[in-house]
Every structure is written in C-alpha cells, then in structure tokens.
Chain A
Amino acid sequence: MWFYRLLLHLYPAWFRAEYAEEMSSVFVSRTARDGWAVAWFGAFQDLLITAPLVHLDALGQDLRWTARVLRQSPGFTATAVLVIALGTGASTAAFTLLDYVLVRPLPFANPSRLVQVNELVHTQQGPARNLASPPNFVDWLTTSKSFAFMGAYIAAPISVNLSGHNDPQRLETTLIQANVFRALGVTATAGRTFSVDDDAVGGPNIAILSHGLALALFGSAPAAVGKTVDLDNVAHAIVGVMPPGFAFPRRDVAIWRPLRFTPGLMGSRNNHILYGLALLRPGVSIREAQADMDVIGSNLQKSYPKENAQTGIEVLPLRDVLAPGSRTLIYAVFAAALCLLLIACTNLANLLFARALTRRSEIAVRIAIGAARERLIRLFLTESFALTILGGTVGFLMAIAIAPSMAVLVPTGLPLGATPEVDWRVFSFAAAITLATSMVFGVGPAFRSSRDADINALRSRGSGATGMDRIRAALVVVEITGTVVLLVAAGLLLKALWHVQAIDPGFHTEGVLTLRTALPSPKFDPPEVRSEFYTRVLQGTRALPGVSSAAYISYHPMEQFSGRTAVAPPGYTGALQNLPRGVRHFVTPGFFEALGIPLRGRDFNETDSRTSPPVVIVSESLARQLWPGQDAIGRIVQADGTRTIVGVAKQIAVRSLEGATDSQIYYPAEQMTMPSYYWPKDLMIHTGDPMALASAVRQIIREVDPQQAVSDLKTLEDLVGAQTAPRRTQLGVLGAFAAMAFFLAAVGIYGLLSFDVASRTQEVGVRMALGAMPGDILTMFLQRGLKLGVAGVVVAGPVAYAAARSMSSLLFGVQPSDPMVYATAAALATAMTVAGSLWPSLRAARVDPATSVRSG
C-alpha cells in the first residue's frame, strides 16, 4: 500500500492533496475484489497514462487562464512584453557581436592551432608588436620546430588599379605565401589556392579573387578561373576564387597575389612589412612555440645586433589579434546590454508584484474556495512564463533585425566577414536569458503573492504588505543604479568624443579637396614618368579658378599606412631602437601652403631634384628630440641617407587625430628613394568650394592619363570628421542603452508610486480629513520617490566608477572619475525620479477625503 502511495507522487501535488485518499481507498477495494495481481497491473497502467495527462490538463488550464487574464489587461501585457523584448533583444544583439568577434572559433579548419607570429620590440613604453622583415622571417621559418606550416603575408593592404572591366577601380590586395593557405586549411571554391612553387621568384603573374569580385567581373566563380585581370596595367592569370565569406587578413581584401622574396626584399632586416601565420604542430602548445621562438629571437639579436636590438618574437593566437580598444568596446556594449536586461527584469518583477497586489482579493477568494497554493504558484509562473516567452520572441526577432547594422562594430582587422551571424548559439543564449528572466523575476512575485494572499486580504483590501513594498522599492533602486551607471558610461564617452573633436590637427581642414591617384608599377617606375604626371596634374589643377594651392603627398593626413623611420644625428652608431622616429612623407612643393601648416625655413621647390643635395623637412617635435633648445635648420641628419634640414614644420596629427604625438619627416617627391608604396598618390587642393572642383580635376587627370583610376574623392573636413566616427558609433550604442534604461527606470518609478498612491488612497483620505493639505500629500509622495532616486545614485557611484575604470582605454584621457559626468548623471537620474513621481503624487494630492474614506 505504501508503494501505491509513493507512486501517487507522479501526480501534481494539488491533485494528490485532493484525491490521494480516495484513490488509495479505491485501490484497496480493487485489490480485495480482483486480487493484487490484477489490481497492480491496472494501477501501473493507469498511473503511467494518467499522471502525464493530469499535468498536461493543468498546464492547458493555466495557459487558457493566462491568455484570458492577459487579454483582459492589454496595457499591462503590452508593457511587460515590450520591457522584456527590450532587455532580451539588446542583450541578444550584444551577445551576437561578442560571440562573433571574441568567442566563436575563427572560420578555419584548426582555429585553436592558428597563430600569428610577429616581432616584439621592447621600448621604454613597454613591448610593442612589430612587423617582421623578410630575412628575419626566413630565419624563423628555417629554424623553428613548432609549426606544421608557417607562411608570410604583407600586413598593410596594397591598393591596385584594376582596369579592363568598365571604369578603372581601386581594390585592396595582399601578397601572401602558399603556406598561409595551408595553415588556414582553406581551399578555393573554384580553381586552386597557391602552391609552394608559386612563391618562387620569377614565377608568372597570378592572382586569386574573392568570391564577390569574381561574381562582379565574370558572373560566377568557375567562369573567372583561367581569365586574366589587369592589376596596375599588368595582366594576372586568375588561378582560383575563394569561397564566399573568406576574409584574410582583413575583410576588405579582394585579391591575393603570391608573396615572393625578391633579392630587393631580402636586402634589409629593417624593412618591417610582414606577419607570419602558422599552424601549430599537433600537440604543441602556444607556450612551447613561444619558448621555441624566444631562442630564435635571442639568436637573431646576437647575430644582427644593430637591426634586431631589443627585438623578440611573439606567438599570438590568431583570435587575439585585436586592438585592446576594440575588445573593451565589445565588452562595454555587452555589459551595457546586461545592465539594460537587469533593469528590464526588475521592471518586469515590479509589474508582476504590483499586479499580484491588485489581485490579492481574487487570490484570497480562490484560496478560500479551496484552490491549492501550489496550483496558484503554477498559475503565476505560467503567466510570467508566457510573458517572457512572448517578450523573448519579440526580442530575438529584434536582435535578428538589428544584427546587420552591428557590422559597424565588427573590427575590420580580423579575418571575419562583416555581418555577425544569428545562429543556434545566439538562439540558445536568447532562450537561456529569457528563461532565467522568467524564473528569477517571476518566481518571487508568485511565491510572495500566494503567501500573502490569505484570508486577511479579503478584509484589508490592499493596504499594508510592507515587506512587498520594500522589495519593490529595492527593485526600483536597482533600476536607478543601472541607469546611472549607463549614463556615466555614455557621458564619459561623450566627453572623450568632445576631447577628440577639440584636437587641433595642426592644418586647416576647410576648403581642402583630396583624391587618390595610386600610380601603378612598373608603368610609373621611371622617376621622370612620375614627375611628369605630378607636374601636369598639379599645373592643370592650379590653373582652375578658385584654387589657391595644390600638392601631392604619399598618404594624406589621417591615413594609417605611412610608416615611421628612425632619424639619427650625424655619426650615430647605436641601436636604431633608441632613435626618435618620424612618420615618413614624400611631398611635392606647395604641400605646407595647401594645408596651411606653418613652416620655418623653406619649402621644397623645383631646385630640389634627383641630382641636387638631399634635403628634408622635420616637424618641431622631431627637431626638439634631436637638438633640444637649438635650431635644427641647416643641420645634417641620417634618414634614408644623409640629408640637410631645410625647414621645420609645425607638428600635425598625421596618422590619426588621437595619435597626434607622432613626429613627422618630409622628403621631396623628386628625391624618392622608396618603393611604390610611398609614391605620392594623394592630391590635396586648397580652394573655396572643394566638391565643386571634383569633375574638373577628374577631367584633368583623364587628359594626363586616361587609364589612371581616381578614388577616395573627399574633403579633408570629412576625412578628419571620419576620425571620430567610431567614437560616435560607440556613443550611439551606449547612449541608446542609457536612454532605454532611463525610460524603463522612469516607468518603474511611475509604476511603483502609482500603485502606492492607489493602495494608500484611504490613508491619504484620512490624513486629509485630519488636516493635511494637498501640498503635504504631494511632498510626502515626491519625497518617497526622491529617496529612492538618491539611494540609487549613491549605490551607483562606486559601480559606475568601476565600470568607467575598466573602459578607460576608450576614454582618451578623460578621467574615469570625471566629476562633471557623475554630477550630470546624478542630476539626470534625480530629474527622472521627479518626473516619474510627479504624476502619481499629484493624483494623491487631488484625493477627495470624503469619497476615499467611504470607499474604504
């Protein structure tokens, strides 16, 4: 018999409570009449079938009841669903980004064994990642034992002109060794990738196209294989097309060509241009590979002390090749989203609490007529569950909808496509947080309401329940805290943006048109051919009405790709690493005038030719570093040969606004000593209305060389403005989260106080009957709201500071403790509290004592 009773536990508790006694007595009667064998056989069969059915019956009833209740209060339902959708949608979207960029394995065959191998230069500021020179790389390759494959590729994108297919266009390419493809474990979708034979110097000109480019040029991947493309006027045979989505080393690369170590490339250990990509041998850890390379690095230091001083080798998981700022940003976005989710959830809990309170009478009636408490809890849980499922679904759809727009937050420097994919991982995350929300924030109200809903509720009709009040108030404090933290984060980012925008780049940005004519090699290899091109284009441009000056430079300001060179005083023999460095530019005469950069000494002019004495212009900071307190003009420096300084230019922000501290060194274009990478390609024109000139300048270039592609036509103002674009995006994302949090918290306060006022109408009536003025009542409720606001702000202080410190790499010098930002956030939170409290408080002040006391 006891066993039968035990088996009855398969039924829900409320069912057992109701029928267990009778079922047992039926079972006893059955055993007596039919014998125990028949009775047990029947009982087992019966239990196994009906127990699940009873559970299902209850669920069905609960769902029907929930649907009815939710339909009856559409306002509540819509608010709750919206609140949950905001929270889950934002965090799912943020998770998608985080997972895509930082967590999920890279889309290659053996992602955990893929490493980047680069140089690590130990400077006074700490270790700095550096590119490797081809001779150093070849030594790595021949002496290392840790890698199954290691190949080199050129790190900076190389722009080429693609002609012969409609208008000439400019495309990003990279040079890459066959072993990189083998390490990545990728194959071509049509044709082939490179073989080791393709790395040999003197091989035919071949190229691999991206899937997108093959489609655009030839209609399909297989159609492209065997055709040719003209890159910088040199025909390249297409040997393969990569699959869609393949991105390496960056997602903007559309063409891969073989990297061949020509004698020229192998000539110098100072030519830092490449990264190594390697696949660890099976069973070799990163640490073992690092130890292997450490030995090689120190041997190279000994063998080539001048070039490799203080230079080690770093083995880095490919997944970790990401600037710390990008990483912090993604964590910040995710944290902000979780913060928003927390606020949304507390709001939901508060909504459910408030609702449970208004239904206390109904619950008490149900209990009085015999509903089991367990059954009531189930009802409440079903309700919060249904709400979170609805909200979670809406949120998940929202996340799918906004995922493509998050492409702006995916760093371009990773071997990843632009659009984060929403897949089962993301779906699982969304489902998990939705369930967690439902459990954590639905269970509390369910238990509380069923416990509080005793028979007393029938009599007291809603007053009291101070324990629940406290919980609800605490939840509102949590909301305000979260809001203040988000406001502080957004405020600090805003201030950092202002700081960056306020940076004086050192040149005038207004009225400057810039465009790029990247001259192809070998057509422009002869210096006189280049000179003629520059001269004719500049002469034509300067003759245009409204143009005050024009010049060419190797890379326009705000371009990341101009390299830095060590600058030495005469006779220096020490290590290159200890020398000051300048960002290297080759310019035509008139550059300083075109950009309005103050210059002491003289500008380059027509007398600075290939045969005249080599000259150079340095920036103030470089002059100061070399000869502190003395005039640099007329002095000799070693910088790509021995040169005389003829001018000192004001410091300008070159590679980026935020990197304004880089020094500069300018060479005359005519005395060009560097490969085509440094050839002047960016035309800068100072005029009144830059964009009005565009077509006239294009026409001039077409007349000079009809095959020359023109690209990147922009105003300098836009280029400088684009510098702050990532910051504006960051601010936009965090600002949107803060705004949503602000709104949700205001709704939370409003909801709490509205409910307060409604449940204390009677008390307010009594107070007024006893002489309280409407003003006193207003103050009473406003004070309650303000207390919560102040509590939230106080709790938020340290939390916000901790958050701000962790994102200090994004703050560009703004202190994580910036008092203005905290004061503003606190003021906003207080204003929000007052705004949320005002309407309910006014309603309380308008209570008619006679009616309210009678109605109680």
Chain B
Amino acid sequence: MDSTSLLPLPPVTFHVLLALADEDRHGYAIIQDVAVRTAGEIKLNAGTLYRSIQRMLEQGLIVETRERPSPEEDDKRRRYYRISKFGQDVARAEARRMTQLVKFARESGFAGGRA
C-alpha cells in the first residue's frame, strides 16, 4: 500500500507510532511515553488508545509481537505492539507532510523561525 494513502494521520495514531519508534511497548507504556513526550499535555485514556490500536492493527501500521520481556518484568495480561515497516513509512510520510506545512506557515509569517 502507498504510504501516503492514510495521510493525514489522526494525532493519536501519530503519537502511538512515535512511541513505538524505538522499542516495542504495551498499552500503558505507550500512554506514559506520549505523556512524557508532550510534557503531560496529552494524557491518553484507555478507550482512545485501544480504539487507535485496533484500527492501526487493521491498517497494518503496527503488529502485536510475541516477544516478551523477562518473566520478572512481564505482566501476562499485557500485549506488546511493534511498529511495522509500513508503519515506519507512513510515520515518515506524515512527518514530511507536517514539515512541509510548517514551512508554508513560516513563509506566510504564521509561525516563528526562519522563513
């Protein structure tokens, strides 16, 4: 599938992709990661998160992984998610799109920084 076909991404989807960029995470870890990244501005609730996860699984942006942490760190109820190759492509495409937008905004004087 074309990596631009899902753009623009819903913000929650993009945040989840960012959270999974460097490591596999379970749901609560994603919520924490997003909260830290946004300095507490975005606190995802469970429903919002898992609705996104369910859609992202269907779209093939992420996959559920069977690799689990060492037994002492693991909670059996937890499921771990990993970004897919397609998910990485889509995240990059979304980032490019946003960069482009910011560039336009700067050129018009709506945003700070160099024009």
Contact = CB atoms under 8 A, between A and B. Distances in A.
Contacts of B79: 22
* Chain A to chain B: the 8 pairs with minimum beta-carbon distance, closest first: A46-B45, A50-B47, A23-B46, A46-B47, A19-B50, A26-B46, A21-B77, A26-B28
Contact of B47 (A18, A21, A47): A47
Nearest to A38: B43
A208 B48 CA distance: 72
* Residue among B26, B54, B75, B78 with most chain A CB within 10 A: B54
Interface stretch (A51-59, A256-264, A812-820): A51-59
A29 B51 contact: no
8 contacts: A25-B28, A27-B46, A42-B43, A45-B45, A47-B47, A50-B45, A50-B48, A57-B55
B45 A22 contact: no
Contact of A26 (B27, B51, B55, B58): B27
A42 B45 contact: yes
Given A22-B26, A29-B28, A42-B43, A54 B54 contact: yes
Contacts of B48: 46, 49-50
B34 interface: no
Interface string B27-59: 110010000000000010111111101110010
A524 interface: no
Contacts of B43: 42
Contacts of A15: 50, 54
Contacts of A42: 43, 45
Contacts of B49: 26
B62 to A, nearest CB: 14
B75 to A, nearest CB: 7
A495 B105 CA distance: 85
Given A30-B31, A43-B45, A49-B47, 15 more contacts: A18-B54, A22-B27, A22-B28, A22-B50, A22-B77, A25-B78, A26-B28, A29-B28, A42-B43, A43-B46, A45-B45, A49-B48, A50-B51, A53-B51, A57-B54
A50 B53 CA distance: 12
Interface of B: 26-28, 31, 43, 45-51, 53-55, 58, 75, 77-79
A interface, by DSSP: helix, strand, loop or mixed?
helix
Interface in A49-99: 49-51, 53-54, 57, 61
B55 A23 contact: no
B77 A26 contact: no
Nearest to B58: A61
B45 A25 contact: no
B33 to A, nearest CB: 13
A57 B28 CA distance: 23
Contacts of A49: 47-48
A21 B79 CA distance: 10
Contacts, number: 62
Interface in A681-697: none
Interface of A: 11, 15, 18-19, 21-23, 25-27, 29-30, 42-43, 45-47, 49-51, 53-54, 57, 61
Contacts of B53: 19
B31 A26 contact: yes
B58 A51 contact: no
Nearest to B79: A22
A694 B58 CA distance: 81
A23 B50 contact: yes
Contacts of B54: 15, 18-19, 54, 57
B38 to A, nearest CB: 15
A57 B53 CA distance: 12
Contacts of A11: 47
Contacts of B75: 25
Contacts of A61: 58
Contacts of B47: 11, 23, 43, 46-47, 49-51, 54
B77 A46 contact: no
A61 B59 CA distance: 11
Contacts of B51: 50, 53-54, 57
A222 to B, nearest CB: 63
Contacts of B45: 42-43, 45-46, 50
B72 to A, nearest CB: 17
A45 B44 CA distance: 11
Contacts of B78: 22, 25
A379 to B, nearest CB: 13
A730 B50 CA distance: 62
A536 B43 CA distance: 107
Contacts of B28: 22, 25-26, 29
Nearest to A51: B47
Contacts of B50: 15, 18-19, 22-23
Contacts of A23: 27, 46-47, 50
Nearest to B26: A22
* Residue among B26, B27, B50, B77 with most chain A CB within 10 A: B50
Nearest to A29: B28
Nearest to B30: A26
A38 to B, nearest CB: 9
A18 B45 CA distance: 17
A645 B48 CA distance: 102
Nearest to B55: A57
Nearest to A61: B58
A413 B97 CA distance: 74
* Residue among B46, B51, B53, B54 with most chain A CB within 10 A: B46
Contacts of B58: 61
B31 A25 contact: no
Nearest to A14: B54
A51 B51 CA distance: 9
Contacts of A54: 47, 51, 54
Contacts of A30: 31, 46
* Residue among A21, A46, A54 with most chain B CB within 10 A: A46
A51 B75 CA distance: 26
A245 B26 CA distance: 72
B46 A46 contact: yes
A52 to B, nearest CB: 10
Contacts of A45: 45
* Residue among B45, B51, B54, B77 with most chain A CB within 10 A: B45
A193 B19 CA distance: 83
Contacts of A43: 45-47
A25 B31 CA distance: 12
Nearest to A19: B50
A375 to B, nearest CB: 11
A18 B78 CA distance: 11
Nearest to A42: B45
A61 B53 CA distance: 15
A30 B51 CA distance: 18
A499 to B, nearest CB: 68
